């Protein structure tokens, strides 16, 4: 998985540094960012792109591009009251769930607190930019799959903490924070990518189909005993295949990138849940690897099962996070790469 992330990063750097006929990288960032603005602000988008042409200097162009990207990601709230209410409800729910976790599942308290705060911030951001137009059935299905996948992942971790508390003990809290941030990113991406003004039903349905195929493939492979290491390649392959098919059908690189991201977002949390559940079902009782035997003696785990399950959980968290980074690297290439390197010229 590290190799996949490294390759995606190298491809991103190479493509983004190529000037192409779409202008330099700051200009492509401004164009990609303004494409995310609501439909009623298209005039403003064109004005920002035109204004960049009058900005000279490497540093000034990059600062301008960074400012446009910030506006696209965090636009002014359309309904401030709704945003404030969402933030208040999210904070209150986080406090309640964190106190309950401290009482019943103390090893997950940091994860629950971080996940609650991050999702509250994400929900507030979505409430700030949510368009008033209606949502189609394809977008509702995709949003439901995104939410259910993340809930399944959280449920699998809670089940592990209930049966093997030592497996979820995180002394440094690094894995708890990484898991919370990654699941929040999957959830927010799955919800924001389904905005009807920005993603066509074909793109959404293609992403749903790609996610379903990836989850089905992993569900078929895992019971045979092969393994969780196959999950990231399956997800990446599903995302690339979905993006390619949508790109061929629509001849739109942005739609293709979004379809691939949707496929990955909708499938990966479910993969994570399947992997965690499969690891619990294996019920490991012995260690055969000399490294694991030595590490187990220093781990302080009460039994072999807790040690192995904790190690598997950490590996699955790393896989979940690196897959998200790899998919976003590929999406960044498709979104802001020069047209001449992706689309044929007339």
With cut-offs at 50, 70 and 90, classify the pLDDT of residue 76: low
- What's the pLDDT at 161? 92
What is the distance between the alpha carbons of residues 169 and 283, in angstroms, rounded to a whole number?
Answer: 18
What is the distance between the alpha carbons of residues 111 and 159, in angstroms, rounded to a whole number?
Answer: 14
What is the distance between the alpha carbons of residues 174 and 184, in angstroms, rounded to a whole number?
Answer: 15
- What's the pLDDT at 13? 42
Indicate if the pLDDT at residue 283 is higher than 60: yes
With cut-offs at 50, 70 and 90, classify the pLDDT of residue 342: very low
pLDDT by residue (tens digit) across 12-70? 443 444 444 455 677 777 777 777 666 666 677 677 777 877 787 778 888 888 887 77
Q: What is the mean pLDDT of residues 160-164?
A: 91
Q: What is the mean pLDDT of residues 135-157?
A: 83
Q: What is the mean pLDDT of residues 186-202?
A: 69
With cut-offs at 50, 70 and 90, classify the pLDDT of residue 296: low
Q: What is the mean pLDDT of the chain?
A: 75
User: With helix as H, strand as E and coil as C, how does the chain read?
Assistant: CHHHHHHHHHHHHHHHHCCCCCCCHHHHHHHHHHCCCCHHHHHHHHHHHHHHCCCCCHHHHHHHHHHHHHHHHCCCCCCHHHHHHHHHHHHHHHHHHHHHHHHHCHHHHHHHHHHHHHHHHHHHHHHHHCCCCCCCHHHHHHHHHHHHHHHHHHHHHHHHHHHCHHHHCCCCCHHHHHHHHHHHHHHHHHHHCCCCCCCCHHHHHHHHHHHHHHHHHHHHHHHHCCCHHHHHHHHHHHHHHHHHHHHHHHCCHHHHHHHHHHHHHHHHHHHHHHHHHHHHHHCCCCCCCHHHHHHHHHHCCCCHHHHHHHHHHHHHHHHHHHHHHHHHHHHHHHHHCCHHHCCCCC
- What's the pLDDT at 160? 92
- What's the pLDDT at 182? 93
Q: Which of 127-141, 192-206, 215-229 has the lowest mean pLDDT?
A: 215-229
Q: What is the mean pLDDT of residues 299-320?
A: 82
Percent of the chain whose predicted confidence (pLDDT) is above 70: 72
Percent of the chain whose predicted confidence (pLDDT) is above 90: 17
Q: What is the mean pLDDT of residues 319-330?
A: 79
With cut-offs at 50, 70 and 90, classify the pLDDT of residue 77: low
More confident residue, 125 or 193: 125
With cut-offs at 50, 70 and 90, classify the pLDDT of residue 225: very low
Q: With contact defined as beta carbons under 8 Å apart, do 195 and 251 qualify? A: no
């Amino acid at each position: 998985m590290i190799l996949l992330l490294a390759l995606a990063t190298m491809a991103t750097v190479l493509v983004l540094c190529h000037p192409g006929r779409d202008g330099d990288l700051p200009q492509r960032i401004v164009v990609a960012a303004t494409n995310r603005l609501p439909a009623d602000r298209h005039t403003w988008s064109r004005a920002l792109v035109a204004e960049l042409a009058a900005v000279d200097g490497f540093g000034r162009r990059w600062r301008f591009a960074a400012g446009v990207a910030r506006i696209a990601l965090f636009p002014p709230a359309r309904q401030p009251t709704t945003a404030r209410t969402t933030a208040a409800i999210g904070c209150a729910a986080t406090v309640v769930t964190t106190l309950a976790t401290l009482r019943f599942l103390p090893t997950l308290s940091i994860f629950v607190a971080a996940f609650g705060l991050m999702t509250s911030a994400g929900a507030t951001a979505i409430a700030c930019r949510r368009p008033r137009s209606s949502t189609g059935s394809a977008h509702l299905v995709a949003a439901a799959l995104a939410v259910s996948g993340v809930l399944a992942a959280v449920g699998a971790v809670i089940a592990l903490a209930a049966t093997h508390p030592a497996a979820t003990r995180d002394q440094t809290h690094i894995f708890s924070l990484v898991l919370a941030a990654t699941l929040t990113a999957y959830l927010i991406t799955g919800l924001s990518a389904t905005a009807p003004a920005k993603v066509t039903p074909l793109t959404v349905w293609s992403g749903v189909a790609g996610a379903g195929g990836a989850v089905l493939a992993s569900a078929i492979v895992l019971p045979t005993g092969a393994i969780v290491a196959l999950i990231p390649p399956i997800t990446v392959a599903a995302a690339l295949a979905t993006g390619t098919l949508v790109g061929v059908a629509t001849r739109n690189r942005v739609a293709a990138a979004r379809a691939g991201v949707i496929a990955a977002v909708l499938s990966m949390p479910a993969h994570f849940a399947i992997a965690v559940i499969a690891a619990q079902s294996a019920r490991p009782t012995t260690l055969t690897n000399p490294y694991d035997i030595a590490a187990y003696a220093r781990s302080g785990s009460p039994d072999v099962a807790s040690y192995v399950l904790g190690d598997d959980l950490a590996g699955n968290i790393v896989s979940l996070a690196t897959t998200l980074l790899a998919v976003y690297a590929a999406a960044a290439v498709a979104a802001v790469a020069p047209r001449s390197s992706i689309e044929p010229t007339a």
